[in-house]
Amino acid sequence: MKWMLAIVCALAANICLAQTAENFRPASTNVWGAQYPRIDDAGRVQVRVKAPEATTVKLNFWNGPKVGMQKQSDGFWTVTTEPLVPGFHYYTVVIDGAEVADPGSHAFFGGTRHASAVEIPEPGATYYSIQDVPHGQVREVWYHSKVTGTWRHALVYLPPGYDSQTNTRYPVLYLQHGGGEDETGWIRQGRANVILDNLVAARQAEPMIVVMAYGYALRAGESLPDTAATTFGSPQMLKAMQDMAATFEDDVTQALIPFVDKTFRTLPDRDNRAMAGLSMGGMQTFHITLRHLDLFSHIGGFSGAGGLLQPGGGKFDPKTDYNGAFADPDAFAKKVHVLWLGVGSAEGERFLGSIRGLHENLNAAGIKHVYVESPGTDHEWQTWRRALHDFAPRLFKARKARS
């Protein structure tokens, strides 16, 4: 009887293991043919890496603690995580102290380096999923900037029908990445092209060109300060950041916009030009647009902009900040068709607190704007995907794209 019971138990265990394995599937962010990392419907992640000579291996999700992995007899190390919240999660593997990417995952540039990632689908959310709708194209471009004295790189999304409707001109959204990321982020991590495809197909947003430029810039002959010898927040570092912001401002206004208007069929006027960005890109957006309201009429800050609207950390003064751009609410409303602020409700005081404060200050100053909090999301791509999905349909409603 004991041997029969043992067989029954073994069979039951195998069935349970099979059922558990069947619940997991390769992540959509995997390289072709890779079975790991895997995810299940609860949002758990299984990671499996081969390191037969390692003594310790840890899984390092950037928005959580390091988790120890267990060594198997075949030299692979494995771990199954607790459920993760929906969205895009960067991670690395730490093998005997060395932080490396998982060879089973595609690499994504974030946090100043390439890292692995898994995508946990948000139940019921299809706005950033590829649908059976007409699709635009994302093209790489290089433009020469006299400001930096270099060739600079950008990605350009062209809406469905751009190549066939050759008499049509389009409004333009300049969409900036965050700190530690680059111009590929809004496509590879943010799925901006898919979001726009779906919005345009549903007639919820105007067809538009989206320009995503590299957000770091140095003037010709300048170099970054020695970060090893410069303390973060020091006067030297602050000056370097201010200089880069001013250089990027000049690059956008003097090199990038003229190049885009010359190269693509744009509607080259302020009523058909918008700028938005996430985190650092949001700050760049406000820094540039509020100094150049002759060029922009739609402004969006996604988890960014709060600090820059209060120079020096002082109290927001609509009469003086940004050369008095907010001094006359009626005049501002005539110039700026959309002023949009958004932040994740779980972002914490640094972002949520400052942007809520900015929202309250703008209300007190009588400045018309839109304020949106993304429920339950942190300083992460799910916040910024939702932001773009809300922001884009508000753009260019005053004037349709014309021939």
Same structural domain, 167 and 296: yes
Residue 128 in any domain: the answer is: no
Q: Are 271 and 398 in contact (CB under 8 A)?
A: yes
| Domain end call among 72, 95, 120 | 120
Residue 402 lies in a domain: no
Tokens of 274: 């918008």
CA distance 403 to 400: 10
Q: Is residue 283 part of a domain?
A: yes
Instruction: Tell me how far apart the terminal alpha carbons of the chain are, to the nearest angstrom.
Output: 85
pLDDT in tens, 354-384: 899 889 989 999 999 999 999 999 999 999 9
Asked if residue 345 has pLDDT above 70, the reply is yes
- Please state the domain count of the chain: 2
Q: Do 237 and 184 have their domain in common?
A: yes
Answer whether residue 354 is part of any domain. yes
Choose one of 92, 120, 148: the last residue of a domain: 120
Compute the CA torsion angle 196, 87, 381, 113 (nearest 10 deg): -120
Q: Enumerate long-range contacts of 57-62, CB under 8 Å, 24 or more apart.
A: 57/93, 57/94, 57/95, 57/96, 58/93, 58/94, 59/91, 59/93, 59/94, 60/91, 60/92, 60/93, 60/94, 60/99, 61/89, 61/90, 61/91, 62/89, 62/90, 62/91, 62/92, 62/111, 62/115
287 shares a domain with 347: yes
Grade residue 308 by pLDDT with cuts at 50, 70 and 90: very low
Give the Cα separation of 166 and 172 in Å (integer).
Answer: 16
172 burial (CB, 10 Å; 0-12 / 13-18 / 19+) is buried
Residue 8 lies in a domain: no
Q: Which residues contact 4 (CB under 8 A, 6 or more apart)?
A: none
Longest dimension (CA), the chain: 89
Co-location of 52 and 107 in the same domain? yes
Range of the domain at 96: 24-120
CA distances from 12 to 4, 5, 102, 147, 279 (A): 12, 10, 33, 69, 51
Question: What pLDDT is recorded for position 357?
Answer: 87
Mean pLDDT, residues 103-112 taken together: 94
378: which residues sit within 8 A by CB, 6+ positions away? 63, 344, 346, 347, 348
pLDDT at 245: 86
Average pLDDT over residues 159-178: 97
pLDDT reading at 101 higher than 80: yes
Return the CATH number at 54: 2.60.40.10
Q: What is the pLDDT of residue 330?
A: 94
Q: Token pair for residue 178? A: 């965050």
pLDDT of residue 15 exceeding 70: no
pLDDT digits (tens, 9 = 90+) for 80-100: 999 999 999 999 999 999 999
Instruction: Find out whether 195 and 158 touch, Cβ atoms under 8 Å.
Output: no
What pairs with residue 51 in β-bridges? none
User: In this structure, are 171 and 109 located in the same domain?
Assistant: no
Report yes or no on 369 lying in a domain.
Answer: yes
- State how far the Cα of 373 lies from the Cα of 358, in Å rounded to an integer: 13
CB of 90 closer than 8 Å to CB of 61:
yes
Asked if the bond preceding 121 is cis, omega within 30° of 0, the reply is no
Residues 112 and 238 grouped into a single domain: no
164 and 116 within one domain: no
Amino acid at 238: L
DSSP string, 261-314: HHHS-B--SGGGEEEEEETHHHHHHHHHHTT-TTT-SEEEEES--TGGGSGGG-
Alpha-helical (H) ranges within 125-232 are 185-188, 192-201
Residue 346: give its domain's CATH number: 3.40.50.1820
Please say whether the beta carbons of 220 and 148 come within 8 A: yes
Mean pLDDT score, 209-221: 94
In a domain, 181, yes or no: yes
pLDDT band at 314 (very low <50, low <70, confident <90, very high): low
- The verdict on 202 and 340 lying in the same domain is yes
Q: What is the pLDDT of residue 401?
A: 40
- Outline where DSSP puts E strands in 163-230: 172-176, 209-213
Average pLDDT for the chain: 88
**Domain end: 93, 120, 147, which one?**
120
**Same domain flag for 57 and 147:** no
Q: Is residue 16 part of a domain?
A: no
Chain segment 132-159, per-residue pLDDT in tens: 999 999 999 999 999 999 999 999 999 9
pTM of the model: 0.89
- Beta strand 98-100 with 87-95 is antiparallel
Domain co-membership, 48 together with 187: no
pLDDT of residue 226: 65
Per-residue pLDDT of 113-124, as tens digits, reads: 899 999 999 999
**285 lies in the same domain as 345:** yes
* CA dist., res. 284 & res. 250, Å (int): 12
How much is the pLDDT for 318?
A: 76
Q: State the pLDDT at residue 21.
A: 52
Question: Same domain, yes or no, for 85 and 153?
Answer: no
